[in-house]
Amino acid sequence: MKRTNTFDVVPQSKKDEELLRHLLDASAALWNEINYERRENYADPDADVWDISEYRGRYGGTLGASTVQQIERKNREAWRSFFALQKKGEANGKPGYWGNAEDGRDLQTYIRNTSYSVEWGEYSRLEILVGKDLKDEYGLGHRERLRLKVRGDPNWNEYDKQGRLELFWDENAQTFRAFQPVTIDNSRLAQPLADETAALDIGANNLVACTTTTGQQLLYEGRDLFDRFRETTREIARLRSLLDDEQYSSHRIRSLYRRRTRRRDHAQDALARDLVERLYDEGVATVYVGALTDVLETHWSVEANAKTHNFWAFRQFIDRLACTAEELGIAVEVRSEAWTSQECPQCGSTDRTTRHRDTLTCPCGFEGHADLTASETFLRRQTTVTRSMARPVRLKWNDHEWSESPRSCSNEERTNPQVASVGR
């Protein structure tokens, strides 16, 4: 099973930081050259996009032959992905550049699994291979590697095989960061504590509404996150309007795109982790998630499309949720949730109900939280629910973690069915 460790990388001296920046900048320059050649070949009907020049002679002395190979391979993967999306009619542009020399290149590289090592412990460190010319310039020995401190607490510090390391400068956090794919033995995974079930209603105003067969309900609020995402999008549009006619982007625009994406991904990863750990403690063994097509077919709008695809990145979240759940032995299944957000749980009507913001009402007298009601209705379609629902736990994002909102109820209200039922 494949997993990913994420950790910060800290140069031990000014010289080491300069060397690392030199390495990442040269990697970006190599990517840009390869990508430019492929884009030119793509535009030429008589050329082959896969037929590119030999770059090891020019960049091997700086990066090392193995890193040159990895960047070539990564670029090839990006083009294959582009052609696959193009075939489906979903491509939104050819692979892009990693910045430019004038505005600043994106500091990033890929290191082959045999060209780096990571040691965890009291003095955790990362050692990576660099080219001979770079060693000579910065005074490294012939067999010496660049040694960097590692800061973080990886989920998987014992693994069977390590993959290709991604190393980059994170402008948002102002630190170097690494992603290390690893393969682990399935026997190390946890097992569910019981055989309970949960159902999720995915949205954007409320990112996740969850109901479990134990009577627990969780609500992850998303309005603040979406407002920040939309604010950054507007700033990108404003900056684009100021560009010269022949200019497509700028260093500032690319920086905003990266910041917007990483801010979303950070909140998304943390949500998946927080949710799965809470469900594990509840004894949940299976999680049902509503299919995205049901949401868009029922409620399609420009804003809904932007929220599900651009802001929330629905498919990416489901993949992250499934990976995280698998670590604790929890299965994730995508099922149809058509009309759950319109169905009245008391009379079953779907055409008489009215939704206004977060509230669902029905002429039969029912009134409840729309997303939580949808997740409960969805859960009842998948399994038998016999327990009454506790008051929901509301969670908000504070840029670092998901924590209970002041609007959440007390523990007594959430866990006492008699008290809980009064407030429903």
What are the tens digits of pLDDT across the range 303-331? 555 555 567 677 788 888 988 898 888 99
pLDDT averaged per 10 residues, the chain (length 424):
88 96 97 96 95 95 96 96 87 84 88 95 93 95 94 81 93 87 80 93 86 95 88 90 81 83 87 95 94 51 54 79 88 85 87 86 92 92 85 91 71 37 34
**What is residue 101's predicted lDDT score, i.e. its pLDDT?**
81
Edge-first strand listing for the sheet containing 206-212:
331-335, 284-290, 196-202, 206-212, 217-221, 393-397, 402-404
**What is residue 309's predicted lDDT score, i.e. its pLDDT?**
56
**What is residue 8's predicted lDDT score, i.e. its pLDDT?**
93
Instruction: Tell me if residue 226 falls in helix, strand or coil.
Output: helix
**What is residue 355's predicted lDDT score, i.e. its pLDDT?**
84
**What is residue 306's predicted lDDT score, i.e. its pLDDT?**
55
**What is residue 60's predicted lDDT score, i.e. its pLDDT?**
96
User: Structurally, what CATH architecture does the domain formed by 196-422 represent?
Assistant: 2-Layer Sandwich (3.30)
Give the whole-angstrom CA distance, residue 38 versus residue 294: 39
Residue boundaries of the structural domains of the chain: 2-188, 196-422
10-30: per-residue pLDDT in tens?
999 999 999 999 999 999 999
Give the gyration radius of the chain's Cα atoms.
25
Give the whole-angstrom CA distance, residue 137 versus residue 134: 5
**What is residue 310's predicted lDDT score, i.e. its pLDDT?**
64
